[in-house]
Amino acid sequence: MRNVSLSIENIVKSIVVVAALFFTISSSHAQNANEGATLFRANCSSCHRVFGNLTGPELAGMSERRDQEWLLKWIKNAPAMIASGDPIALELDAAFPAAMMTAFPMLSDDDVLNIIAYVESEEEKKAAGDAGGATGGTTTGGSADSGDASNFMLIGVLVVIGLVLVIIYILNRVIRTLERVIETNKDVVLAAPIEDEKGAGFGATIRRLLKNKKLVFFLVLFLVAFLGSAGWKTLWNVGVHEGYMPVQPIKFSHQLHAGVNQIDCQYCHGGAYKSQNASIPSANVCMNCHTAVTGMDQYGGEISPEIAKIYRALDYNPETGEYGEDTKPIEWVRIHNLPDFAYFNHSQHVVVAGVECQTCHGPVETMEEVYQFSPLTMKWCVDCHQETEVNHDNEYYEQLIAAHEKLKKGEKLTAAMIGGLECGKCHY
């Protein structure tokens, strides 16, 4: 009996330590990595990748190559470090002359540390994948919904652990009380010697613990709760494609067009202010600029390979300026997809509500390659609708107020007076 009591006491201590470490590590590291993933996509992804060089060096292993203080100074103001003659800064500038590192004074020290935490988390994922021989896509970000689900499940697991610890503590007290009773009345109560299982070593301890039905029950309960939590998290994220970035047939840079050249989004996506769909621009919209802009300055007198793809799709001869008959469509890959049962109208949000494109699509003016920035889940939409204020200073609400006044006075009110003649009531 005493051996069982001591074993339970040791298990309680171990569970407390493991639970504390699990809560501390998951709540701090995951949150920092998730915030860092968002900052990385918004500020770093146009020039850097975690693994592999882009226009700048890969970021994997940067914490080992450079100390934290140097990284903070470099990321926040690289041009100043190059101008000051810092030898490492000069070496990086010479190694990657195609693009100078941009200064990010708007980033705080915590923001930079979050980005570093995200890079380190990606390194850990890759190391774990290599060790397990697993193959698959790399997740570049977390969603608001998955974060809520993860926190909810973490709290649930901790509550279950807390209940298990309380029950084990109570059972332990009961066992000690019974031990004292047996010790006090051993000469009277015990009619025959009680044979206790004797043995030494780890195997004997495990066998004694497995005979404790209450301990086994709570261990199984904890395992079921843990697996249920993990399964719920997996199901919660089914169909959520946040961070999805497919390979497109033409490497169109939104950072160059919308960021550097400041072309308005609706110049290309004209449907956003007049129809349900934002629409993909036809190739002739591209040719409004690219009959003159050919990229020869950057490619030694040759036409840019990406612009040449537009010419081939239109069967356009840049030397004669004539179009042929052998045209082919540009097969763009759709990034943002909603379920068939979800209706979304771009014009209603852009024109009526005045929602900016970046609210849903993220900072596209900084994206070299566009990816799905928002989770596009129902919860995400509902949260936005609960926070967005309605602009009621317009004719629609004036007519609505007038209609209510007629109702109060008992006057005649027809469907036409409250928008019943609008085309969209029947046709959409």
Q: What is the pLDDT of residues 179-194, one digit of tens each?
A: 888 877 766 644 454 4
Cβ density class 220-258: b for 16+ within 10 Å, e for less: eebeebeeebeeeeeebbeebebbbbeeeebebbbbebb
pLDDT band of 123, cuts 50, 70, 90: confident
Q: In this structure, are strands 316-317 and 322-323 parallel, antiparallel, or unpaired?
A: antiparallel
The amino acid occupying position 148 is D
Mean pLDDT of 196-217: 75
Contacts by 285-292, CB closer than 8 A, 24 or more apart:
286/310, 287/314, 287/316, 291/318, 291/321
Q: How many helices (H) and strands (E) does the chain have?
A: 18, 2
Residue 307: both structure tokens together:
């612009």
For 21-144, CATH number?
1.10.760.10
Please spell the DSSP secondary structure of 197-252, one letter per residue.
Answer: P---SHHHHHHHHHT-HHHHHHHHHHHHHHHHHHHHHHHHTTT--TT--PPPSS--
pLDDT at 28: 45
Residue spans of the domains in the chain: they are: 2-9+157-236, 21-144, 254-387, 399-425
- 291-304 pLDDT per residue, tens: 999 988 888 889 99
Give the separation between CA 230 and CA 24, rounded to whole angstroms. Answer: 19
Using an 8 Å Cβ cutoff, are 41 and 371 in contact? yes
Give the CA distances from residue 217 to residues 28, 167, 176, 224, 228, in Å, rounded to whole numbers and listed in that order. Answer: 32, 12, 20, 11, 16
Q: Tell me the range of 22-36, 117-131, 146-160, 328-342 where mean pLDDT is highest.
A: 328-342
Report residue 243 CA to chain centroid gap.
7
- 22-58 pLDDT per residue, tens: 555 444 444 578 888 888 888 887 788 888 887 788 8
Could you tell me which residues are beta bridge partners of residue 317?
Answer: 322
Q: What is the DSSP-derived secondary structure letter of residue 77? A: -
Could you give phi then psi for residue 270, rounded to 5 degrees?
A: -70, -20
Q: Lowest-confidence range among 13-22, 137-146, 174-183?
A: 137-146
Of 349, 11, 385, residue with least CA distance to 164: 11
* Sequence-ordered strand ranges (E) for 313-375: 316-317, 322-323
Mean pLDDT of 145-172: 76
pLDDT at 285: 93
pLDDT band of 211, cuts 50, 70, 90: confident
Unique residue bearing structure tokens 């990385």: 40
Using an 8 Å Cβ cutoff, are 406 and 175 in contact? no
